[in-house]
């Protein structure tokens, strides 16, 4: 990973879209930092499309799409995108995402089995606001159970036919062949005329954890905040750049670099 200060002016001039994870990328200890939120406004005022790409639930994404300075939000690890247009909130669902009612019983059973198999594991408190997945909390609240247990939970879910991804706080599991990357590109293609072949270098992506890896692999302009180093041993594909500061402070640091070029 290269220092974000090495981003070149010609690369910066080609960026049209800034995509980013939320938890531990623009937050710290669950709090949205003032530095991060100010950076979002600066990006928007500079004319860039700003899109969070998160594992957080539909209920959160409704608020984010309405109240944050963003062009839309991809939620539940790629199940959908919510965006506002002409004062109306729109929902765009991934073509490969099944109807929520079709998989809910299987997800509920998977969650019950996981909680029985791993003492201390619990459903995330935001589960009630989810449409397409289950979120198993290993580090959002105490007790923090560690990455090794999270890996075991991921393998447990995958062995039962689910897709499972580890974030900095949850193991998210769902049924359906979609992820953050495919939904983000579907959203940008549908709303902004993004061409996945011609326009790849127009995206700068920020993340911090294993569920960001498809984005790190896909985009030549990707950046990890400094705490991504905590997960480096779990990643085959690292971001091209890294900040010197962690969490939202690192995000703001990178935005300073980008907008100065």
pLDDT in tens, the chain (261 residues): 999 999 999 999 999 999 999 999 999 999 999 999 999 999 999 999 999 999 999 999 999 999 999 999 999 999 999 999 999 999 999 999 999 999 999 999 999 999 999 999 999 999 999 999 999 999 999 999 999 999 999 999 999 999 999 998 999 999 999 999 999 999 999 988 899 999 999 999 999 998 899 999 999 999 999 999 999 998 999 999 999 999 999 999 999 999 999
pLDDT, position 48: 97
In a shared domain, residues 124 and 9 = no
In a shared domain, residues 159 and 209 = no
Please say which residue of 119, 141, 174 terminates a domain.
174
In a shared domain, residues 250 and 193 = yes
How many structural domains are present in the chain? 2
In a shared domain, residues 87 and 201 = yes
Q: What is the CATH number of the domain that holds 255?
A: 3.40.50.1000
> CA separation (Å) from 101 to 98, 112, 130, 175, 250?
8, 17, 12, 12, 39
pLDDT, position 238: 97
In a shared domain, residues 80 and 117 = no
In a shared domain, residues 193 and 67 = yes
In a shared domain, residues 83 and 186 = yes
In a shared domain, residues 8 and 81 = yes
Please say which residue of 146, 174, 202 terminates a domain.
174
In a shared domain, residues 117 and 104 = yes
pLDDT, position 232: 94
What does the alpha-carbon distance between residue 31 and residue 154 come to, in Å, rounded to a whole number? 26
Burial grade of 104 (CB within 10 A; 0-12, 13-18, 19 or more):
middle
**Strand ranges across the sheet with 73-75:** 73-75, 80-85, 88-93
Please say which residue of 144, 174, 204 terminates a domain.
174
Phi, psi of 236 (to 5 degrees): -85, -35
In a shared domain, residues 189 and 162 = no
Bridge-based pairing state of the strands 241-242 and 31-32: unpaired
| Enclosing domain of residue 144 | 100-174
In a shared domain, residues 86 and 151 = no
pLDDT, position 116: 97
In a shared domain, residues 133 and 239 = no
Structure tokens given for 149: 């247990």
């Amino acid at each position: 990973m290269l220092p974000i200060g090495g981003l070149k002016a010609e690369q910066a001039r080609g960026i049209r879209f800034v995509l980013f994870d939320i938890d531990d990328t623009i937050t710290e200890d669950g709090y949205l930092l003032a530095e991060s939120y100010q950076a979002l406004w600066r990006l928007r005022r500079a004319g860039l499309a700003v899109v969070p790409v998160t594992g957080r639930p539909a209920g959160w994404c409704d608020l984010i799409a309405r109240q944050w300075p963003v062009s839309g939000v991809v939620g539940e690890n790629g199940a959908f995108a919510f965006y506002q247009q002409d004062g109306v909130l729109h929902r765009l669902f991934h073509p490969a995402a099944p109807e929520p009612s079709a998989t809910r019983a299987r997800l509920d059973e998977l969650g019950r089995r996981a909680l029985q198999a791993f003492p201390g594991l619990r459903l995330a408190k935001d589960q009630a606001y989810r449409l397409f997945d289950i979120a198993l909390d290993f580090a959002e609240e105490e007790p923090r159970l560690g990455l090794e247990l999270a890996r075991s939970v991921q393998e447990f879910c995958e062995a039962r036919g689910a897709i499972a991804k580890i974030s900095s706080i949850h193991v998210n599991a769902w049924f359906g062949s979609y992820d953050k990357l495919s939904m983000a590109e579907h959203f940008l293609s549908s709303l902004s005329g993004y061409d996945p072949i011609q326009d790849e270098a127009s995206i700068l992506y920020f993340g911090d954890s294993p569920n960001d890896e498809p984005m790190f692999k896909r985009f030549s302009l990707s950046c990890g905040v400094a705490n991504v180093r905590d997960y480096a041993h779990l990643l085959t594909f690292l971001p091209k750049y890294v900040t010197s500061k962690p969490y939202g402070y690192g995000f703001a640091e990178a935005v300073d670099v980008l907008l100065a070029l």
